Amino acid sequence: MQVYLVGGAVRDQLLGHPYHEKDYVVVGATPEQLLAQGYQPVGRDFPVFLHPDTKEEYALARTERKSGHGYHGFEFFTSPDVSLEDDLIRRDLTINAMAMDDQGKIYDPWHGQDDLNHKILRHVSDAFSEDPLRVLRVARFAARYYPYGFTVADETLALMQQLAQSGELQTLTAERVWKETSRALMESHADIYFEILRQCGALKVLFPEIEALFGVPQRPEYHPEIDCGIHTFMSLRQACKSDYSQDVRFAVLVHDLGKALTPREEWPRHIMHEQRGIQPVTEICDRLKVPLQTRQLALAVCKEHLKCHQAFNLKAGTLWRLLQRLDVLRRPERVKAFVQACECDARGRLGLEDREYPQAQFLLEAMEIVRNIKAQDLPPEIKGPDIGEMLINKRIEAIAELKHACPELK
């Protein structure tokens, strides 16, 4: 029995990229042998075991054969006769098809080190095109390793285009698409994930609402980059640059979907695009089964982002009602996330990436002020329904005072 460290841990160790998970492949063993040594079985489709002490994953070397459609359309075969090379050739990219023994020796039958050195994401074999999930994985790796200068090999991109055109992407479950996408959103260059999907034709299959933004113009005095799709990716880049949460990044990604629904005769103006965006944001969240908290912020940013930009021009009562809709008293973190997403929208514009956005600090100060006005601070003679009404009046008055003292309005 021989044990090898495989996949991402080997790749990232050679690249000098931080990693946390370690996966191992076991050659020349049976499930019974691992069970006898105290390994715990966890694999449903093929034998995967947890180490009795470290709880790291150990998988028996295996081969696979396409037997149906989609990510699950495979039959797996394990045997002590399956070699390390047999196991590695079924992997997606050459840089993921390397192994290391306990002495630190690298096994690289598919030239992953060469591609690592040349910064190329290249498929191992034509079996790549049998698994549609690999389109998303390659796009995610492209986003992760973009700072190192990695690009997708032309022949790999061609296979991804074939998969996008074949209908295989539609066999992916919502859970798998969202899992890959949510992970990609947290990469330092999440926009590259969506850009690669667009290049291979997968964006219009999996995210047609985002694809529809490309080619839609905006007013150049507000959007020097003009194109709605370019603006969306630039805004997402701002969210990544600031290391904002996954919820904020997703909200930024979908904040302008309504602009794709603006009638052509109204271009480049997009009046009512916030309201028009509610339906496509809801549809994309429904289709991908996006978590409730993520969906709620996305819808709030879609509907209200212009009000954040216009904060200094809004009446105090209007600002209070905006904060109320954001659930300021119970969920101040949502207000903060909302402001962050709006800031990314404001800065995701050509030549305006470093612009000041004082509306952010203004709304956060307003949030703190209204949260600090509590019922126990009211005169004791105020009773019953009058308490709620006076609290609202006090909060609106406090916002008005904040506006009066705001240097941007002087």
Q: What token pair was written down for 126?
A: 């034509």
Residue 20: Cβ-neighbour burial (10 angstroms; 0-12, 13-18, 19+): exposed
Are the CB atoms for 246 and 360 separated by under 8 Å?
no
Q: Which of 349, 359, 340 is nearest to 300 (CA)?
A: 340
DSSP 160-221: HHHHHHHTGGGGS-HHHHHHHHHHHHTSTTHHHHHHHHHHTT-HHHH-HHHHTTTT-B--TT
Region 80-86: what's the mean pLDDT? 93
For residue 92, the cross-strand partners are none
* 69-83, 211-225, 318-332: the lowest-pLDDT one: 69-83
CA–CA separation, 343 vs 9, rounded Å? 36
Write out the DSSP string of 48-100: EEE-TTT--EEEE-EEEEE-SSSTT-EEEEE-TT--HHHHHTTSSBGGGS-EE
Backbone phi and psi for residue 138, each to the nearest 5 degrees, phi listed first = -65, -40
Distance CA 365, CA 373 (A): 13
Burial level of 372, CB count in 10 A (0-12/13-18/19+)?
Answer: exposed
Q: If pLDDT is split at 50, 70 and 90, which confidence band does 382 have? A: confident
Amino acid identity, position 171: T
pLDDT at 67: 52
Per-residue confidence band for 66, with pLDDT thresholds at 50, 70 and 90: low
Domains in the chain (CATH in brackets) are: 1-110 (3.30.460.10)
Q: Give 406's pLDDT tier (boundaries 50, 70, 90).
A: confident
| Residue environment code for 146-156, b if the CB has 16+ CB neighbours within 10 A, otherwise e | beeebbbbeeb
Neighbours of 126 (CB within 10 A): 9
Q: What is the pLDDT of residues 178-231, one digit of tens each?
A: 999 999 999 999 999 999 999 999 999 999 999 999 999 999 999 999 999 999
Q: How confident is the model at residue 390 (pLDDT cuts 50, 70, 90)?
A: confident
